[in-house]
Amino acid sequence: MAYPAFNGLTEPARAKAEYWRTAVGLVCATALYMGGSFAFFGLLHSFVGAAAVDEIATGASPRGVLFLLAHFGIMAGAVAIVVIYLHDRSPLTLLGDRSLLGRDFLSMVQLALVVALIGGTIVAFTLDLTVNTPFGLWLLLLPVALPLVALQTGAEELVFRGYLQQQLGARTSVQAVWMGIPAAVFAFVHFDAETMGANLWLYLGVIFLFALVTGDITARTGSIGAAWGLHFVNNVQALLVFSFVGPLSGLGLTSVGISVADTAVRPLLFLDAAGLILIYMLWRRRHG
């Protein structure tokens, strides 16, 4: 399958696209991110104490979710450092065609919002939702939360659809490698058997599907903009609109009243997968 726009995305990476270099880059970026996160939470511990850090680390409060989202700036910084010092190029090259970045982001946000509203309506009429965050507080925090969700999703896109897919695509034309490996790694980093329980493999399957769709869209556009837009809407819905009992529930406007490990969540996962496929089909129809 030909992806002409993907050539433009991979071009800056071709000079230093050896597999060993990409592997070292991932290890270094991971180490920098983990070290930065340790320092971030250590600094918080000094200011707010251990109990507050535990609350922040689990996203059990609005403050916790906001701090967790903000710390993804460390991830963006880590991959930027790797690209500069290991690959001798600008981190801006991870974005792809920057003339398309904003347009693709907004175009996908508009499309994904329509599908999300349909899915959200189904959820609202089929589940007994309760208020999780008082509306006044939620509305007050929204101008802060939305940019932070954009930061968090943008950082992940820089790593997976930017750095990893770009590096592998610059090295090989085998789609199973340059699209499949980033998708598998993306699913793997979301592995959480304790939280997901019996739904673990279904969650990972949906996450893998999400990564394949965003990887394909990135290759077709030559920019991470559309993938970032889809990721942004997905996480806004998951973090700021509907929350599950447990981690990262602190800033959801409503609560669905079940945990992510509950088997009752499975229809919602199938709904997510169906919405993702619908978005992809509509996007392909609009953009070819």
The phi, psi pair for 179, rounded to 5°, reads -105, -40
In what order do the strands lie in the sheet containing 242-245? Answer: 130-131, 254-259, 242-245
pLDDT attached to residue 166: 97
204 near 193, Cβ under 8 Å?
no
User: Is the CB of residue 257 less than 8 Å from the CB of residue 128?
Assistant: yes
Q: For residue 55, count other CB atoms closer than 10 A to its CB.
A: 17
Predicted TM-score (pTM) of this structure: 0.96
- Nearest Cα to Cα of residue 243 among 230, 252, 232: 252
Q: How confident is the model at residue 47, as a pLDDT?
A: 82
Give which of 278, 276, 271, 273 is closest to 124, Cα–Cα.
271
In angstroms, rounded to a whole number, what is the distance separating the alpha carbons of residues 145 and 34? 23
Q: How far apart are CA 178 and CA 184, in angstroms?
A: 11
Rounded-to-integer distance, Cα 89 and Cα 105, Å: 24
What is the per-residue pLDDT for 288?
65
Q: Where are the chain's structural domains?
A: 4-287
Point out which residues pair with 245 in neighbouring strands.
259
Q: Give me the average pLDDT of each 10-residue run along the chain (288 residues).
A: 87 96 97 96 85 83 93 97 97 94 96 96 92 96 98 98 96 95 96 94 97 97 97 97 91 93 94 97 87
Residues counted in the chain? 288
> In whole angstroms, what is the distance from residue 256 CA to residue 237 CA?
12
* pLDDT for residue 71: 94
- In the structure, how many helices (H) and strands (E) does the chain have? 14, 3
